[in-house]
Amino acid sequence: MNQNYDNLTVEVRDRVAWVTFKREKDTNPFSRGMTLDLTDVCRRITEDAQSAEPQIGAVVLTGGVGRAFSVGGDFNDVSKLDTEPEVRSYLGEIIDLYISVLKVHVPVVSAIDRFAIGQGLQVALMTDYRIGTSTSRLQMPELKNGVACPLGAVILEFLLGRAKMLELILDCEFIDANASRAMSLLNEVTPVDELVAAADRAARRFMAYPRASYIATKRIHNGRFVDALESVREPSSQAHVAAFLRKTGKQHFDKILGRT
């Protein structure tokens, strides 16, 4: 399955698929192209897992060392959304991506250096195990920037509970590595130069578990997560349509894109 996409690369090393985000900026913003590329990769890995002789035993998602995991949605794409159908399509692609990650039934590990923000953090939260470097910083900043956060809210509530979800989406500020580890947004913190080794070690540890039991367990508990995301697909679309058409986030987008 080793192959290149426009926005990421896939390399299988001794049955571990390393999926590396490769945007031109080292912040790795999630363009629509990268969303669709990663969705396709996940679907291919899911198909492989269902084959008679699977080639992939585990997956690592990473932005690379010295590069952000992802700072979230690409504002160049977001700023072009003008109509309700465009907004609905855009959000639908993101939900489909999250579900495609959840449906990868072999172990999936996130290796996070620097930033995981918004959509980037939400992608990481779809994985089984998250390793961050000591300098990694996580954030769900949507509300303070005028962007609706229904997906982030349902993800955090499903994983951490309602009280912690409210605290994080209302605070909107960066969470350092130690605080992220304390609340299980990260499962492990490692020095920057040990990130790749730590991710490989975790992937191989989980891959060594009896495959059928791991896959069956993951399919059941991730199925409930998929149901939670599907339950807010339409309300999320409505919330984003209202926010985008009112241009509540325009000031923030313009600032990021250098238009102010």
Domain locations along the chain: 3-192+211-256
Quote the pLDDT of residue 76: 85
The CATH topology of domain 3-192+211-256 is 2-enoyl-CoA Hydratase; Chain A, domain 1 (3.90.226)
Counting Cα atoms < 13 Å in the Cβ hemisphere of 227 gives 6
Rounded average pLDDT over 18-26: 95
Query: CA end-to-end span of the chain, whole Å?
Result: 44
If one counts every other C-beta atom within 10 angstroms of the C-beta of residue 36, the result is: 16
Q: 174-230, pLDDT tens digit by residue?
A: 999 999 999 999 999 999 999 999 999 999 999 999 999 999 999 999 999 999 999
CA of residue 136 relative to chain centroid, distance? 15
Tokens of 88: 């609905």
98 vs 123: CA distance, rounded Å: 6
User: For a pLDDT cut of 70, what percent of the chain falls above it?
Assistant: 93
- Does 250 score more than 60 pLDDT? no
**What is the sign, positive or negative, of the torsion defined by CA atoms of 102, 96, 38, 30?**
negative
User: For a pLDDT cut of 90, what percent of the chain falls above it?
Assistant: 82
Q: 67-78, pLDDT tens digit by residue?
A: 999 999 997 887
User: Does residue 121 contact residue 139 with C-beta atoms inside 8 Å?
Assistant: yes
60 vs 231: CA distance, rounded Å: 28
Determine the 3-state secondary structure of 185 from DSSP: coil
Quote the pLDDT of residue 79: 76
- Does 107 score more than 80 pLDDT? yes
Provide the pLDDT confidence category of residue 1 given band limits of 50, 70 and 90.
Answer: low
